[in-house]
Amino acid sequence: MINSRFVSVLALLAGAYVDSALAADMPKEGSYDIKTCFTRNVTRIDYSATHFAYSYEETGTSISNPPGGMFDSEVIRCVGMVASFDGKRTGGSVCEGLAKDGDKRLTQFRYDSDGKLVRDAVAGTGKYDGLVTVGTTRDAGPPVEMKTGPIQLCIQQNGTYKLR
């Protein structure tokens, strides 16, 4: 008779082997499709009907489509600030993504002169050293009111990546 503890250990080892094999076989370039859901703590200033600003800290987890793809199951943490002056948005955020293997990536999100959100890969460690990404970011759910206090939201990111 097989011991259930032995079966559990074998299952864990097999899972770790599959995870490391998938990471080792990650193509050097390709596409990514991730959804990241966050808990965000917002601090907001409402100066007038046409002028406001808020800062935030957030943490979340990314899930890739298909599972096991680039950036899958990363823990993400960000700090940011957004302001709107007469309807024109400014600001941005910096986010750190932590992969299961301990490799990290640093990403900046900023509003360009047209108010469009731009995503830039800044730095990386391990497999993310020299990472280049091109892509889009959008809300993945109904719009969320950015009021003071904790909120939950999800974003969808799609694009291409290139590793060294």
Task: Give the pLDDT score at 117.
Answer: 85
Confidence band of 158 (pLDDT split at 50, 70, 90): very high
Fold observed for domain 28-162: AOC barrel-like (2.40.350)
pLDDT grade, residue 6 (50/70/90)? very low
Residue 12: count of CB within 10 angstroms of its CB: 10
CB 58 within 8 A of CB 75: no
The pLDDT score that the predictor gives to residue 21 is: 43
Segments making up each domain of the chain, as ranges: 28-162
Q: DSSP assignment of 68-126, as one string?
A: TSTTTT-EEEEEEEEEEETTEEEEEEEEEEE-TTS-EEEEEEEE-TTS-EEEEEEEESG
21-77 tens-digit pLDDT: 444 567 999 999 999 999 999 999 999 999 999 999 999 999 999 999 999 999 999
Model confidence, pTM: 0.80
3-state helix, strand, coil in the chain (%, to 5): 15, 55, 30
- Give the pLDDT mean for 72-101: 95
Say what the pLDDT of residue 94 is.
97
pLDDT at 20 over 60: no
The answer on pLDDT for 12 being more than 60 is no
Query: Is 19's pLDDT higher than 90?
Result: no
Residue range 111-149, pLDDT digits in tens: 888 888 888 999 999 999 999 999 889 888 888 889 999
What's the pLDDT score for residue 24? 55
Measure Cα distances from 74 to 51, 61, 116 in Å.
Answer: 35, 6, 25
